Amino acid sequence: MSYSYLALGDSYTIGEGVAPAGRWPHQLAAALRAAGVALADPQIIATTGWTTDELDAGIDSAAPQGPFDLVSLLIGVNNQYRWRSVDEYRAQFALLLERAQAFSRHGSDGVLVLSIPDWGVTPFAHASGRNLVQIARELDAFNAAAAQVCKAQGVAFVDITGISRQEGGEAAMLAEDGLHPSAAMYQRWSLQAEPVARRLLAAMR
């Protein structure tokens, strides 16, 4: 049985600065196939710079034809980057999560969310003049809001923020722009998400 996959997000999902095969959703699909789970490469709706409301509009424009067996969502870093409020993010994220579940053949059981990584550890952030402690604190608040919404809606939440903080400033973990992750970092994320995706897909058999 082959499973379909829709990946929703921003630069972290489209894989700014890496080849398509290096994007974390593609790596996740490849890892699952290697483990005997026939997950197709994802249809991706994501653009660098998108906020929650821009992703919502992007979904409208793309009009994906579901249902999909697996839907992933990773969004919010640009809300924080643009000084948008946590309350606005929570409300818009909740609506996006409902849309993700509507695209899923299995409702909440076919959706997983990745936390927002901490871009404050990157060389780009260090050169930006922004307060790195404040970035971390705000991203923690955004991620806490997303985790609460996921819990309320019964959706799996995968924390990759810790990985980003531990290794995200290393040259090998960065694309050439010094901000976005490399394929090696995306592999870390996919490894974190793989057992969760495997569990969700196994329940569908």
pTM for the full predicted model: 0.97
Domain 5-202 has CATH 3.40.50.720: no
> Could you tell me the residue ranges of all domains in the chain?
5-202
Range in 135-139, 156-160, 200-204 with the lowest mean pLDDT: 200-204
pLDDT tens per residue across span 54-107? 999 999 999 999 899 999 999 999 999 999 999 999 999 999 999 999 999 999
Tokens of 157: 């939440």
pLDDT tens per residue across span 21-67? 999 999 999 999 999 999 999 999 999 999 999 999 999 999 999 89
Given a cut of 80, whether residue 1 has pLDDT beyond it is: no
pLDDT at 66: 85
